[in-house]
A and B are shown apart, each in its own frame.
Chain A
Amino acid sequence: MTNNRRSNPTSAHAVMIGLSVLAIFPVYWMVQTSFRPQNEIFTTSLWPSDPTLDNYRAVMKVMPIFGILWNTFLMAAATTVAQIVTGLLAAWALVRWRFPGGRLAHSLIALSWLVPFQVVMIPNYVLAAKLDLLDSLTGLVVPNAAAAFAVLVLYNAMRGFPREVVEAARMDGANSLRTLIEVVLPNLRAPVASISILCFISAWNEYFWPLLLIRKMENSVVQIGLQFFMTQEGNDWGLLMAAATLASLPILIIYLILQRQVVESFMKSGIR
């Protein structure tokens, strides 16, 4: 009977190895193809016999990849900071005070993820055009400067914060903003880190809104750069894989360093 508990490790290992290979093989194939010289693209050995950086040089010639990566970094970093600031302020309002309309505000924030982007894309596009935000990084950040997820995670974290400490700060004459920054915020490292990771990665990978907004390659972010590239260079697989590898590299590096935190922050968010 006790053997049952160990649930037959060999078969468990086999299942996990199968799933791991399935998950990692496409990424591996992307990287190895990117190092293949032109005449070796279609061979099926697991590693190129004569690895080369030619594809990477070619990518740099065809598109301003480093400028695009820098744009993407700026956009993702700005979005992250904005979501944390707006999230902190909103969560603090909902935790610190009970006030008429508070529940309504809470539900408006919580339900916003139910509205599919495709439903509001036309009004959003028209508004962005009116505000002269087309083809700009600001335009990519502004609509995403607040997110339900950030507010709700910070709200839950702040609710667990001992009320007496907040009261004591108020007795000492600290106003609500100072209490938030000096008393509450230092205890929110874990949720803030978790939101930062999740938000940075999803902003980096964001596709739909940049697709609508961006016209010129030099203002582009990397996902749209890849899209342009795929349409132009169609079947130059070495080139495409080199570009895709460069686009994924920053995220894969973050994952290598912060693996546990990355996995945890995604699990906390549900899926969105």
Chain B
Amino acid sequence: MTNAVFTLSAPARRLPRLKALEPWLYLAPALGILLVWIYIPLIEAFNLSFYQWNMLPRSQPRYVGLDNYANLLSLPDMHQAVINTVLYTIGLLPISVGVPLVVAILTAGLSGRLRNLYRSLIFVPMIVAPIVAAIVWRWLLNEDHGIVNVWLQSLGFDAVAFLNDPDVALWTLVWITGWKLIGFSTLLFAAADGAINASYIEAARMDGATRWQIIRDIRLPLLSPTILLLTMMTILFGAQWSFVYINALTGGGPLRSTTNVYFLMWDYGFKTMSAGWSTAAGIMVFCVFGLIAIACLALMKKFAVYDE
């Protein structure tokens, strides 16, 4: 009896439920991959950060509470890495935001074929693979035979150990990271600048505004969304972009002078095989950068000027 009732009412009841499932079927592949490879691992990393584990399949993780965090926070390596992370970011900002902004404003008057040629040339570094960029700059900056040092010496300077001098290596890596971005940022600014309504500038000029006044009072405010976006991207991801160059060119050295927090995680994780330290550092970095991201978004809402 109950069976019969069940089969009778089932189709009517199941149909709306199936309907409700439909969007989730479409979402499943993308959401599934993001859950399995990003969000669940994030929770696992959080969990692992309370354990000591050398990542060998047979060994059991040992619970150590907050020890990993406490150790990391008192470790000179970590302090150095945090300072270096800040240095990478500060060093990158002029290359990824400052220079491109100035170049875009200075060259706004250009037009025609040559402009297009410049644009396609300055974009090239963006599509060059990071490891190729690393290898090529390693050759250009080679201490004995690299063309940059040959030029420096012919101008009467001493050769610079770009990658082996602890005072210079970090800035060399900043430069290589920035080299890839500079043209791309310039094009972004140029596009934003080109989108500025020409009648504003015309009107200001009619009123006798000087070129600098036009830049300060019209161009820069209207470029502010792009300025803020690129600044935010650099702050959030600059240190991550440098990772390839650190790993390929300096291995964090000399004397740990180029190690930033991302390379430190890699070093703890896959060189010294301490999963707990690596994930603890990772969770701290994630939280700090998450807070920075929220702050940046709030700032963007507050300060960006939009032409409405």
Residues of A within 8 A of B (CB): 1, 4-9, 11-13, 15-17, 19-20, 22-24, 26-27, 29-30, 33, 41-42, 44, 85-87, 89-90, 92-94, 96-97, 99, 101-102, 105, 108-109, 112, 114-124, 126-127, 129, 142-143, 145-146, 148, 151, 176, 201, 204-205, 207-208, 211-212, 222-223, 226-227, 230, 235, 237, 240-241, 244, 247-248, 251-252, 255, 259, 262-263, 266-267, 270-272
Contacts and interface: CB of A to CB of B under 8 A. Distances in A.
Contacts of B150: 44
B30 A19 contact: no
A195 to B, nearest CB: 13
Task: Report the contact-size class of chain B (Cβ under 8 Å from the partner).
Answer: 35 or more
Contact of B266 (A5, A16, A85, A118): A118
Contacts of A5: 109, 201, 205
Given A12-B110, A272-B237, A97 B34 contact: no
B248 A230 contact: yes
A41 B139 CA distance: 11
Contacts of A271: 181, 184, 230, 233, 237
Contact of B107 (A16, A235, A244): A16
Contacts of B286: 115-116, 119
Contacts of A13: 110, 114
B38 A109 contact: no
A161 to B, nearest CB: 16
A129 B57 CA distance: 10
Interface in B268-306: 269-270, 275, 278-279, 282-283, 285-286, 289-290, 293
Given A13-B110, A127-B37, A252-B124, 19 more contacts: A26-B137, A89-B26, A93-B22, A94-B23, A97-B23, A105-B27, A114-B293, A116-B282, A123-B44, A127-B41, A146-B33, A205-B131, A211-B247, A223-B129, A230-B138, A237-B139, A248-B129, A251-B129, A259-B120
Given A12-B109, A89-B27, A115-B286, A204 B137 contact: no
B118 interface: yes
Interface in B7-53: 20, 22-42, 44-45, 48
A222 B129 CA distance: 10
Given A12-B106, A29-B139, A93-B27, A122 B55 contact: yes
A177 to B, nearest CB: 8
B78 interface: no
Nearest 4 interchain pairs by C-beta = A123-B41, A93-B26, A7-B109, A119-B282
Given A19-B118, A26-B179, A207 B124 contact: no
B69 interface: no
Contact of A240 (B139, B279, B293): B139
Given A19-B122, A230-B248, A115 B179 contact: no
A86 B109 contact: no
B182 interface: yes
Contacts of A30: 132, 135-136, 139
B171 interface: no
B38 A42 contact: no
Contacts of A251: 127-129
Contact of A22 (B48, B120, B179): B179
B181 A97 contact: no
